[in-house]
Amino acid sequence: MKLRVATYNIHKGVSHSPSLRRRATVHEMRQRLHELQADVVFLQEVQGKNSRMAERLQHWPADPQAQYLALDPASGRPFQAVYGLNARYLHGHHGNALLSQFPVLTSENRDFSDHVFERRGVLHCTLQMGSRVVHCFVIHFGLFARSRARQAEALTEWIRAEVPPGAPLLIAGDFNDWQDALSQHLVEALAVHEVLDSARTFPALMPCLRMDRIYVRGFAVESAQVLRGISWARLSDHAPVVADLWLLGDE
């Protein structure tokens, strides 16, 4: 079975214009995401609610962003959306989300916060892909190296405890691992491999840091790329990573 997977930190669906004024990008973002024809999309910094933005910005969607991004009347190809709340504040909350063209069997969101100043979480969903159950983990690790190391170890322990050794695995998101300190640990501990080892995604206008990554197990990689250019840079400060994969062992 062939499928396309993408990961994207959407910067809460808001961008800054050259005049430093905020503008909603979520409408164009929805169009661009559906144009990708992806089957599974891993999203970070997704707003479930933001009453302040709803008051200040014109045409702010009434639906939570995960549900809004999942449905595009123009594409006729709706996703099933799962949202994991990570950070709550007075005017709303945000977290990770998974958009899937495959049936979602289960979902669980765990708090991976390492200290009180950064609220982080990991969303785990299982998808039915043909005859196989595929485990998907949506990642957004912290800004501090020690926090990321502890979060990577917690992720490893979770997967070892709850995911069968031979089960297909997709781990994707914003790892904030610009020093490339976590990759070898994940590869060795979980028998995964990265789809593109030169994926520089931040800042989106001139990407020089490897922040956003996709790791796979039980898949063959046909191709992978970072979507660069001004049209993507005007939507978020991160560039998306897209990979075309083959699920191995599907009957």
Closest by CA to 174, choosing from 115, 93, 101, 118, is 118
Q: What is the pLDDT of residue 17?
A: 55
Whether the pTM exceeds 0.85: the reply is yes
Position 201, amino acid: T
- Residue 22: helix, strand or coil by DSSP? strand
Instruction: Extract the tokens encoding 11.
Output: 């910067």
Pair 48, 88: CB distance under 8 Å: no
Return the C-alpha torsion angle 176, 179, 184, 189, nearest 10.
-40
Q: What is the pLDDT of residue 49?
A: 66
- Kindly report the three-state secondary structure assignment for every residue of 111-137: ECCCECCECCEEEEEEEEECCEEEEEE
User: So what's the architecture of 2-247 in CATH?
Assistant: 4-Layer Sandwich (3.60)
Q: What is the pLDDT of residue 54?
A: 61
Q: What is the pLDDT of residue 132?
A: 94
* Beta-sheet pairing, 193-194 with 169-174: unpaired
Q: What is the pLDDT of residue 72?
A: 85
Instruction: Extract the tokens encoding 102.
Output: 């495959």
Instruction: Extract the tokens encoding 35.
Output: 């144009």
Domains of the chain by residue range: 2-247
Q: Mean pLDDT of residues grouped by 10 in the chain (251 residues)? A: 96 66 82 95 86 68 88 87 85 86 96 82 96 96 90 96 95 95 94 92 92 97 95 92 93 62
Q: What is the pLDDT of residue 90?
A: 75
For tokens 């069968």, name the residue. 164
Q: What share of the chain is helix, strand, coil (3-state, %, to 5)?
A: 20, 40, 35
Distance in angstroms (rounded) separating the CA atoms of residues 213 and 199: 7
Pair 43, 138: CB distance under 8 Å: yes
Displacement of CA 132 from its chain's centroid (Å): 22
